[in-house]
Chains A and B, each alone.
Chain A
Amino acid sequence: MSAGSEERVGFFTDTSVCIGCKACEVACKEWNAIPEDGLSLSGMSYDNTQALGASTWRHVAFIEQPRPEGRTELPLTEPASANGPRHGDGGPAGDMRWLMSSDVCKHCTHAACLDVCPTGSLFRTEFGTVVVQEDICNGCGYCVPACPYGVIEQRPDDGRAFKCTLCYDRLGAGQEPACAKACPTESIRFGPLDELRERAALRVDQLHKEGVTEARLYGHDPDNGVGGDGAFFLLLDRPEVYGLPPDPVVTTRDLPTMWKHAGAAALSLLGGLALSFALPGRGRR
């Protein structure tokens, strides 16, 4: 493992080509020897995984959208070709939509989990990713409420916190993460983050030209509340529809201000205390 930093890498997940197959979930579990974590029918469409957690590091969400009122209206457009309109053009054959998206740890630029970890278990790798060192983690659980996405979690029978490592061990050998390798339609793309951001911008433009005006990027912006995600997405609707927070903020963002205010308050208190002893008061001899 080189001591110097490598180029920052990450994921661009283009949900517009996701077929909801969950190869990513299985490839991840096989590679990382993650245990099965729940054999119950959720009733949430085809999503029986339900959420990211200590033993689910890739989670495919399914959102059925049967009627136009359930989502933003698509404007009717000119046909892109002689074939006819695309992507939900109205009429009984066209008003159904099924969104599918593979969620993952965002490997935030400003990672709250990393900020609050007291043991140094969580650290920033030379690839710009955030990884938990299972031999260090003491199971304090501070990272769990810190994550604005609700990704990291403790394993019940173990106590330690677990999450996606962006296949840190594979990266070190020049191999891509297991989920990206498996994905049949390359919905999950792995690579240098700035290249991915360029590709994503082009893809959104292309979709807009094709009349898919709802297509948008999520987590790509370095000016957002977490400084931009190492794993960002192309969505076809608002993030809340996918169960993603619309405006995530690194929970430690206000810490400096809070410390300043706390410091100021403490000084004021001390000052006031000193003053109360320094000034002569009534009833003193």
Chain B
Amino acid sequence: MGVSDRFREWPVYRQLKGEDRLGRGSAAKSRHTERLRPRTDTADHVTQSICPYCAVGCGQQVYVKDDKVVQIEGDPASPVSRGRLCPKGSATLQLTTGPARRHQVLHRAPHGSDWEPLDLETAMDMVADRVIATRRDTWEWERDGVRTARTMGIASLGGATLDNEENYLIKKLLTGLGVVQVENQARVCHSSTVAGLGTSFGRGGATTFMQDLQHSDCIVIQGSNYAEAHPVGFQWVMEAKARGAYIIHVDPRYTRTSALADLHVPIRAGSDIAFLGGIINHVLTEEKDFREYVLHYTNAATLVSEDFRDTEDLDGVFSGLDEEKGHYDPHSWQYEGVQVQQPTGEADEQYEDRVHAAGGAEAHGSGGARTAPRAPADPTLRHPRCVYQVLKRHFARYTPELVEDVCGVPRDTFLRVCAALTANSGRERTSSFAYAVGWTQHSVGSQYIRAASILQLLLGNIGRPGGGIQALRGHASIQGSSDIPTLFNLLPGYLPMPHAHKHLDLDTFVGTTRTEKGFWASMRAYFVSLLKAYYGDAATEDNDFCFDHLPRLTGSHSTYETVMAQLDGTCKGYFLMGENPAVGSANTRLQRLGMAGLDWLVVRDFSLIESATWWQDGPEIESGELRTEDIGTEVFFFPAAAHTEKSGSFTNTNRWVQWHHAAVEPEGDARSDLWFTYHLGRRIKEKLAGSTDPMDRAILDLSWEYPVDGPLAEPVADAVLAEINGHGPDGRPLTAYTELKDDGSTRCGCWIYCGVYADGVNQAARKKPGSQQDWVAAEWAWAWPANRRILYNRASAAPDGTPWSERKAYLWWDADAGRWDGHDVPDFIPDRAPDFVPDDNATGPQALRGDDPFIMQADGKGWLYAPAGLEDGPMPTHYEPQDSPFTNALYPATPRSPTRQVLSREGNRYHPSGDEPGAGVYPYIVTTHRLTEHFTAGGMSRWSPYLSELQPEFFCEVSPQLAAERGLEPDGWATIVTARNAIEARVLVTERIRPLTVQGRTVHQIGLPFHWGPNGVSTGDAANELVAIVLDPNAHIQEDKALTADIRPGRRPRGPDLPRLVAEYRRRAGITDTTGTETRA
């Protein structure tokens, strides 16, 4: 540049000659400042993606420059998030491009002391060989005389952080290989939601969408810390609040959600059924139910069998309990006069036992439980055996006094909640519930959800704008990993996995699952279409469409049973795909000991999570319980591709299937799980090609042809989604599941997702900005089923088809057009008149009346009383948690749920509870919780410096009173002890957690965030060390939201002193192998 230019650029010159005489503005600007441009402007391109953290599914904009991601921020086009992101979503750039990510495959030889790098192709071959060998060694043709055709030697865990397409291929491949132990985070998180909502309404997902909360007049957040766990979704609660809604937060702790609520109700962890039952009783006693809604849309009038006995009659149990086996025979719960078809004419006790053990309730994720389409009823609601009266009697003792006694909630506060809900329900006003794992993670979790479902049906809030039940799920695609399940007991679309049975052919199997009325009657079409998607041309009418290729269940094969099988030595190989059970599952010590018994372990993740390194530096190495050189487990670590490096779909907590586009290729050896699963399957099939061993028939018949693309031979995710959507006989994509046939002419990977690829267009990738649409935003993404956003929306109109009120109009009957009209796709037959009455012999959708909003239910109604579907009762009952300081005030003879699944073994002992001797050794209640700044088991947050510095250490929250009682130093250390393990935490003394008065005495509660483990930037002990494995019988979900423990000042012991301390506590408490395992007191 010339001298005169330089002179003119001189700040002094600019100051003298320009407008900025003082030299404090433009004259002082340097050349660098002048040339500043934001990298959002200079990027080569920007890709629309979806956040990989929680299940809100915020839109993300991914900016790429020179094939590198340079910025990730919110997508303003998203109607869900409106461009906003929480701290985790905001940290996605560091997550995906930061130094914590691994890019090389690592291998640990059996008994090895360290990792060795391994070539990717070699590693894939080795894993394929391990799978084939282990499968061969552990193959089982039959068990107890019935055909199973499976291997119990291999298991897989993980899927909620993966794409739907990845979960689809994982389940398809493993099922083809005869592996039944396929599980993911959905098991430990919201499996009880599927059971609870599914049996109540016919579908097991959230009934509404978060943006609709803006129309609520009252929102109850309970069993959820909405503002901390779903911050961007919480904006919709704030919108409601800005419009005058009343926000109630019921929680043992006062959290960031409580800070924005109008009313915080401190409650004893584990007593929510008593609380909700109290509200139900209030509504029934005060006759505040929305009578017209209840009469027409629920089973309130239906008569129950005269053989039915309530818990009030039998001191805390329902009729039909086999106390020794710990399960119910539910025949007496059925509607009057109903006999439900069994698989065979004869009773098969072993089969029954196995079915009870497995629990079938999640198979009602889209298709209700079986009962008669029409049973005797009393529309006056006065018959003593009508559901309304049965319900009333069941909840009669759930008085405000009982609620105060059991929950520790003063009756005035309780009545204020009742008043708010009843005042805000009815024709003109609606209330909604938002809940999460504070409700689901209990040994009676499914019944918690049932209680809220009953209440919302009584108040007439289901299917209405501003109403409904918002189940807040936790991972980016955990709804998807339930819908297209990497779960042991389900096939895509909540079709059940078949049980081993002598005489179970396809037709018998269908006969025991389908219902007569509504869309679940066509179950055979959905199932056959799935078998065609799985086995392609090999599946024909003659071989029952390869129905016998499916491996059979013989009970529960949940992740917790798998851990037991690992400890017992029968499960040899394990895949972990984006899940970290050494921190995130109950009883983390047993999780690690289980893995120590494996022959081989494959871990796929971003960083070396605790579940990958336990053999080298885990807590058992520290305590001396295990020695690295003694551990024979061969371990493979495969670096995983991030969501920015692959295309695919996530299904958010509102059933919205949202596509994320790949922005860049993964680096190094990082690959997507789609790549891994596809190429693993390809290799296995190649290695087994030509085999005549009948064991290999199923995997060779499995259709496994997918197009690949790009330098890494990445499978085309669109093609997988198209298979999920389904094709007709002419190969064209299907538009709706009503097009599915049961003659083998259609193929469909997941019937409830049929329509996601309608017209050959990826509907999930639609990105019409929310600002250009109404709040329903029907042209953004695609929701199952059939792009319906509020389910059961027929109920937003009165029986005559007019809206209940103008203010709450959502769907209405347009008599002139002869169709339903409104703001959403009707969750109903589009041209079924409101006054339609079917013929007596009509079946399927033809049998649906004009006032049957619950079209997946056997009788078309919402179930206040569940005559079938759940293992632990037709109605929720208050029971104490497994470990509890209290007796059951309602039924002292039945302290805990009689059908809960107990798995007492060394390392998983239970505490004495209530009045039992030794209960005082663990006198405090512990509840686990989340923090905004971290994410689940920490794999995606504890390696991030930006998130770690926000919450750098594991801490416990205690009240000043508890701190004084136990001598805990604020900001010091405390040790928390249960029969399972002991951990240490920093002490945060706060008044946000208060002692409560329960059953006449003071009880203290301790809050423990569960995010920590020993690896990463931010390290600490894992709260789940303390938690026992005791499970809800319907969903096999653990109870980590209410347990007991002792707390003492100071750090925990190291080395062998640690297990010694834990053992000493067990001795003092007198714990044996039967402690806490009784069915009755």
A167 to B41, CA, bound (A): 13
Q: Mark B971-993, 1 if CB is under 8 A from A, else 0.
A: 10000000000000010101110
Question: Are A135 and B32 in touch, CB under 8 angstroms?
Answer: yes
A20 touches B38 (CB 8 A): no
Docked-complex contact A100 and B259, CB < 8 angstroms: yes
Report chain B residues within 8 Å CB of A26.
Answer: 87, 90-91, 946-947, 950
What residues of chain B lie closer than 8 Å to A76, measured between beta carbons?
none
A3 at the interface (CB under 8 A from B): yes
Contact with B along A1-25 (1 / 0, CB 8 A): 1010000000000000101111101
Q: Are A124's CB and B25's CB within 8 A?
A: yes
- Of A22, A39, A83, A114, most buried by chain B (CB within 10 Å of CB) is A83
Does B29 contact A21, Cβ atoms closer than 8 Å? no
Any A CB within 8 A of the CB of B311: no
Q: Which residues in window 220-279 of B have CB below 8 A to A? A: 227-228, 231-232, 234-235, 238, 244, 246, 254, 256-260, 262-266
By Cβ-Cβ distance, the 6 closest A-B pairs, closest first, are: A36-B945, A66-B991, A83-B246, A120-B28, A43-B971, A123-B28
User: What are 27 residue pairs bridging A and B, where the CB atoms are less than 8 Å apart in the complex?
Assistant: A19-B227, A19-B228, A20-B227, A20-B259, A21-B86, A26-B947, A38-B949, A38-B952, A39-B952, A86-B246, A91-B410, A93-B416, A94-B263, A96-B254, A97-B259, A98-B254, A123-B29, A124-B25, A136-B30, A173-B41, A181-B76, A182-B90, A184-B84, A184-B231, A184-B234, A185-B234, A186-B235
Q: At the interface, yes or no: A48 with Cβ under 8 Å from chain B?
A: yes
**Chain A residues, Cβ within 8 Å of B971:** 41, 43
Interface residues contributed by chain B, number (CB under 8 Å): 86
- In angstroms, how far is the closest chain A Cβ from the Cβ of B1011? 14
Minimum CB–CB distance from B321 to chain A (whole Å) comes to 38
With contact pairs A84-B416, A173-B41 given, residues A22 and B950 touching in the complex (Cβ less than 8 Å): yes
Does B26 lie within 8 Å of A3, measured CB to CB? yes
Other than A83-B419, A126-B25, give 20 A-B pairs with Cβ distance below 8 A: A1-B34, A17-B260, A19-B260, A20-B227, A23-B85, A23-B87, A30-B91, A36-B945, A36-B946, A39-B945, A46-B931, A80-B244, A84-B246, A98-B256, A120-B27, A135-B30, A170-B38, A175-B40, A181-B76, A184-B234
Question: Which chain A residues border B260 with CB–CB below 8 Å?
Answer: 17, 19
- A36 / chain B contacts, CB cutoff of 8 Å: 945-946, 948-949
> Given the interface contacts A46-B951, A87-B262, does A23 sit within 8 Å of B86 by beta carbon?
yes
B970 at the A interface (CB under 8 A): yes
Find A48's partner among B36, B83, B950, B994 (CB 8 Å cutoff).
Answer: B950
B-side contacts of A45, CB under 8 Å: 990
**Given A66-B991, A96-B254, do A41 and B986 touch, yes or no (CB 8 Å)?**
yes
State whether A98 and B992 are in contact (beta carbons under 8 Å apart), knowing that A46-B951, A92-B413, A185-B238 are contacts in the complex: yes
The answer to whether B36 touches A168 (Cβ under 8 A) is: yes
Q: How far is the CB of B208 from chain A (nearest CB, A)?
A: 20
Bound-state Cα–Cα, A121 to B23, Å: 11
**How many Å lie between the Cα of A41 and that of B931 in the bound state?**
14
Distance in angstroms from B694 CB to nearest chain A CB is 56
B73 close to chain A: CB less than 8 A: yes
Residues of A at under 8 Å CB distance from B? 1, 3, 17, 19-23, 25-27, 29-31, 35-41, 43, 45-46, 48-49, 64, 66-67, 80-84, 86-87, 91-94, 96-100, 114, 120-121, 123-126, 131, 133, 135-136, 167-170, 172-173, 175, 178, 181-186
Residues of A within 8 A of B257 (CB): 19
**Assembly CA distance A62 to B951 (angstroms):** 13
Q: What distance in Å separates the Cβ of A63 from its nearest Cβ neighbour in chain B?
A: 10
Q: Does B412 contact A (CB under 8 A)?
A: yes
Docked CA distance A131–B32 (Å): 13
Q: Which of A86, A123, A124 has the most C-beta atoms of chain B within 10 angstroms of its own C-beta?
A: A123
Chain B residues whose CB sits within 8 angstroms of the CB of A21 once the complex forms: 86-87, 227-228, 231, 256, 932
Cβ A30 vs Cβ B420 within 8 A:
no
B1076 proximal to A (CB < 8 A) = no
In the assembled complex, how far is the CB of residue B291 from the closest CB belonging to chain A, in whole angstroms? Answer: 20
Task: Determine if B89 and A100 form an interchain contact, defined as CB atoms under 8 angstroms apart.
Answer: no
Residues of chain B lying within 8 A (CB to CB) of residue A184: 84-86, 231-232, 234-235
Q: How far is the CB of A207 from chain B (nearest CB, A)?
A: 11
Tell me whether A100 and B238 are in contact (CB under 8 A). Answer: no
CB neighbours of A136 from chain B (8 A): 28, 30
Say how far A41's CB is from chain B's closest CB, in angstroms. Answer: 4
Q: Is A37 touching B218 in the complex (CB atoms < 8 A)?
A: no
**A81–B986 Cα gap in the complex (Å)?**
43
Cα(A83)–Cα(B85), bound, Å = 32
Residues of A within 8 A of B513 (CB): none
Q: How far is the CA of A92 from the CA of B994 in the complex (A)?
A: 10
Residues of B within 8 A of A126 (CB): 25-26
- CB-contact partner of B988 in A43, A91, A120, A133, under 8 A: A43
Residues on the B chain within 8 Å of A93, using CB: 263-266, 410, 413, 416
Does B94 lie at the interface of the complex (its beta carbon under 8 Å from any beta carbon of A)?
Answer: yes
Binary A-proximity of B76-105 (CB < 8 A = 1, otherwise 0)? 100000011111011101100000000000
Closest Cβ of chain A to B339, distance in Å, is 48
When the two chains form their complex, are residues B24 and A185 in contact, meaning their CB atoms are under 8 A apart? no
Q: Which residues of B contact A182 (CB under 8 A)?
A: 73-74, 84-86, 89-90
CA separation between A136 and B25, bound complex, in Å? 14
Contact (Cβ within 8 A) B30 A83: no
Contacting pair A30 B946 (CB below 8 A): yes
Residues of chain B within 8 A (CB-CB) of A80 are 244
Please report the C-alpha to C-alpha distance between residue A97 and residue B992 in the assembled complex, in whole angstroms: 9
With contacts A3-B26, A66-B991, A84-B420 taken as known, whether A23 is within 8 angstroms of B84 at the C-beta atoms is yes
Given A21-B932, A39-B1017, A30 and B945 touching (CB < 8 A)? no
Let me know if B289 is at the binding interface, CB within 8 A: no
Evaluate contact between A39 and B949: CB separation under 8 angstroms.
yes
Nearest Cβ in chain B — how far from A167, in angstroms? 8
Contact across chains for A92 and B952 when beta carbons are under 8 A apart: no
Q: What residues of B have a CB within 8 angstroms of the CB of A40 in the complex?
A: 952-953
Query: Cα distance A106–B290 when bound, in Å?
Result: 53
Q: Which residues of A contact B945 (CB under 8 A)?
A: 35-36, 39
Residues from chain A with a CB closer than 8 A to the CB of B423 are: 82-83
Say yes or no: B90 contacts A133, CB within 8 Å.
Answer: no
B58 to chain A, nearest CB (A): 9
Task: Give the residues in chain B near A169, CB-CB below 8 Å.
Answer: 36-38
CB contacts (< 8 Å) of B951 on chain A: these are 46, 48
Q: Is B1018 on the interface with A (CB-CB < 8 A)?
A: yes
- Cβ contact within 8 Å between A30 and B90: yes
C-alpha gap A99/B260 in the complex (Å): 10
